Amino acid sequence: MIQRIKKENYEHLPNEVASAKPSDVELEAELKAKDLIVDVINMDYGMKDKNSIDYVCFYCKSDLSKAVMITRNQVSQFLPERFAEQLIRVYCKKTDEKTLFAARQHFVHWCLINDFTKPQDGDIVALLITPWKLEWNSAGTQEAAKVKAQFLPSDSM
């Protein structure tokens, strides 16, 4: 089951991300909760994590008065596995390079601690953090692998 952040916990997120300081990376900037805005976006097809097609009746051309339910396979093979997702965006109020670097490292580490999926650019912004989680290593893109190869010696990957 995929973990979701509940609405009542949104206000605590800046503090959680600021507190998620990675111990293996030296950061030159100190990050505080007041420096961050954490935005949680819930996206779905209108019925939370349910497939809305499961609640639609379909009519047969031969008998327009008869409505029937159809199975998932009868609809399409292209239906998604999940019908809702939660996106988390972190904005940093400070714009200096050292603070932005620290914010990226904190966010990736926070995702790791909370067993969330890796941020989209996690391989690029947190090269020293992302290898900690085994499934993150195998899920990388070709582009991320190229970036890692530029920054890390071949024996460290």
Residues 6+ apart with CB under 8 A from 75: 53
What's the whole-number mean pLDDT along residues 83-110?
Answer: 93
HSE-up (13 A, CA, CB side) for residue 147: 14
User: CA-to-CA distance for 124 and 5, rounded, in angstroms?
Assistant: 25
The 10s digit of each residue's pLDDT in 64-86 is 899 988 887 887 877 888 888 99
Q: Which of 80, 74, 90 is nearest to 36 (CA)?
A: 90
Tens of pLDDT along 103-157? 999 998 999 899 888 787 655 555 555 455 555 555 444 555 555 555 555 554 4
| Domains by residue range for the chain, with CATH | 7-135 (3.30.70.2760)
The whole-model pTM stands at 0.68
